[in-house]
A and B are shown apart, each in its own frame.
Chain A
Amino acid sequence: MSGHLSNRILRETERLARDPVPGISVTPHEDNARYFNVILAGPAGSPYEGGIFRLELFLPADYPMQAPRVRFLTPLYHPNIDRLGRVCLDILKDRWSPALQIRTVLLSIQALMSEPNPDDPLNNEAADLWKKDIARAKQMAQEWTTRYAK
């Protein structure tokens, strides 16, 4: 692996520590500089508000040419996040660009929590409910938040 790309990981990690994003905590794993423990605060005004969500983030060998892999460890009820915590987000797939960073990825995930997109579902059950009865869906999401996101 090129020294250039590991430099990038170092710089991103340094900057995240020096200049943290409110509501987002990113801690590199002691044994693996490419593996990060992430804690996201549920966005205000969303059914996830007040919840503390744990995620894992892994930078593949050819990062930033390839997108980071991100997975929720805390269960949440959301049309674009499945039971395994996988996230359906375009910038993690075909819309990835090396101009994006760990920081921007996590901000995008927070934005996705605030603005679910039931038309591009990963969790069909949640997406259907979101479209049919949004009040009930948000209530479900809130209940899951209270139950799991502590």
Chain B
Amino acid sequence: MGASVSRVDTDGGVGGHHVTEYVPERSAPSAAGRRPAQQHRQPPGTSISPRSWWGGSGTLGATTSGTATDAAAADHHTGRFSLAASSALPATPAMVHTNTIRNELNVQKNSLRLHRDPADPARFILEFVLDATTTGRCIVYWCARDVTNGSVQVRRLALEPLRNASPPHSTPFQAGMSQVYRQKPERALRITDYRREDLFPKSFDGPDARYPVVIQLELDEPGATEEEFRGRVRSQVTYATLVEPPHLPPSASLSSVEQIAVQVVLQKILVDGTVYELQEIYGIEASSTTTMMATTMRPGAAGDDTDDVCIVCMTDPRDTAVLPCRHMCLCAECAQRLRFQSNRCPICRNVVDSLLHIRNLHTQRPTAA
């Protein structure tokens, strides 16, 4: 199976991190095979891990019928994201159109914290902020790996923790934006149960990579039928690692630190049986926020001298991202023109594989801050 994974290793680019693009774990060998070799090069100025661009571990869940989706983009704050239909890749970059669907679950990437339990210095309590527009449940795993069976239609991502010292526990949540989720102390990470190298892994290569913290959010609507989950983000899984406290000697106990930093490594979503990896689009924030201000506060003056307009015409709002480098720098019209004139991204000069047009980027606005 030609499953592949692409990923963002660090928090790249633009300020916030709630605006993202998903690239599916590819199960269609024909689509993957058409990708030019340049995909494997690291484009300058981005944080894409070169080994992982369409390379992938191949163990993660993906459907065999997933050829209809090629790429997707999301804006968690606005609760919508887009799935793009794939098409044959001609010599000129394909224009990929997107379908917008609602994204109802999100862990805010920069909100994860592990605090030492004042009552027990060997316990660290996880805290993070989540957005949900409906009811669901949250499961936290320690040192878990993804064991999703990729050969079938995926119902949920299967995660396997390292050991059963702290068995996973499902906690319900209600709808609400920016909810603070704080673990009960008895669910906390008991550091004495794990080896130092389990908590601070050096790499995440290979199918058996374990992530110290995995947060699984799932829709949970009592009485809902399968049909009612169609086209919705059924689940979002956030894979995070811990940052070894600096200046802490290897022999010193972790219980001497008050807080351990948590860094998100990747996020995945599950839509209609297909697993997608969440990636950022560089420049989408400037595009959606400044254009909103420009159009609401000074009508007609959009695109004067800010980052929100197309880099080519300097006139229309940016709504099209270049793939695989994910630079959101074009309007749809100039993107069409670029297809026939150049195969390089204007920002990084990386070879353009396809263009991702995000509809409704400038028409729907977030209702929550």
Contact = CB atoms under 8 A, between A and B. Distances in A.
Given A2-B337, A4-B316, A62-B341, A98 B311 contact: yes
B313 A8 contact: yes
A5 B313 contact: yes
A99 interface: yes
A99 B344 contact: no
Interface residues of B, number: 19
B338 interface: yes
A65 interface: yes
Contact of A65 (B303, B316, B333, B342): B342
A4 B331 CA distance: 10
Contact of B312 (A8, A15, A19, A95): A8
Interface of B: 303, 305, 311-316, 329, 333-334, 337-338, 341-342, 344, 346-347, 349
Contacts, number: 46
A65 B311 contact: no
Q: Interface of chain B, helix or strand or loop or mixed?
A: loop
B5 to A, nearest CB: 30
Q: Interface of chain A, helix or strand or loop or mixed?
A: loop
Interface of A: 2, 4-5, 7-8, 11-12, 15, 19, 62, 64-65, 95, 97-99
Contact of B349 (A4, A7, A8, A97): A97
A14 B314 CA distance: 12
A8 B334 CA distance: 11
A19 B304 CA distance: 12
Contacts of B349: 95, 97
Contacts of B314: 7-8, 11-12
A4 B329 CA distance: 15
